[in-house]
Amino acid sequence: MTSVLTVAEMVLRDLARRRTVLGLLFLLPLGFYAARHDQTGQAIRFASLGLGWGASTAGLFSSNSAKSVEPRLRLVGYSWPALLVGRLAALLLISWVIAGAYFLLIYFDQDIQRPGALALMLALTALIAVPLGMLIGAVVPRDLEGTLVLIAFVGIQMAIDPAKDSAKYLPFWSSREIGTYIVDPVGDDYLQRGLQHGIGVSVGLIVLTAVLTAVRLRRRKHVHLVRQPAAAGMR
């Protein structure tokens, strides 16, 4: 547990030094929200997507910056689960703080009948976004390529019709179902579908990230050099 807290503290300190990144994390959802401010349902959904993009980007950059540090931490005794859980916890903490700020903004700015569902949607979006960014960071070697992958994800998510069956295969489809439940007088089945999809996606992303992290940070046996006897002719 101590090692997990130490890793989380290191991640938070690293992000605290990147004030520009933190500023973008706070402002990115605001830009999405302002773009559809006059339409409550769209404004909520776009704010959620902005939060997802920002949290995913933080997960991507944090994962890539850790690739040179984590092997050394493994050598001094840190386990790969501690490294993974500590980083995930720190990024989720920051993302949930940002989600809380936007919950208050939307709650006081829009006519929301189901504020509890709004809080769930934003928290679930962060829970999906952080491991998504970490997974992309584990698969894609550099920040530029990873950012392009994230842009593709968010662009498709915004462009596709959420009512299509193919939209269910995208990571943030749950925000559409829960967002509909927040704004429209629909049944609890929308909330249930959104929660099931979001929790399932987040668990799957975390498991995949854990597998890749375990493979990357596995302990390798040291190579032993065997001294070969000198050839008779060379003696």
Q: What tens digit of pLDDT does each residue of 53-105 get?
A: 889 988 988 888 888 888 888 888 888 889 999 999 999 999 999 999 999 99
Q: Map tokens 């943030």 to a residue.
A: 172
DSSP for 157-214 reads: HHHS-TTSGGGGGSTTTHHHHHHHHHHS---HHHHHHHHHHHHHHHHHHHHHHHHHHH
Q: What pTM was computed for the model?
A: 0.87
User: Which pLDDT score is estimated for 220?
Assistant: 55
The reported pLDDT for the residue numbered 168 is 86
Angstrom distance (rounded) from CA 205 to CA 116? 25
Measure the CA–CA gap between 3 and 83, rounded to whole angstroms. 8
Regions in the chain scoring below 70 on pLDDT = 219-235
The pLDDT of residue 234 is 46
Q: Which residue, among 157, 173, 142, 169, has the nearest Cα to 60 in the 3D structure? A: 142
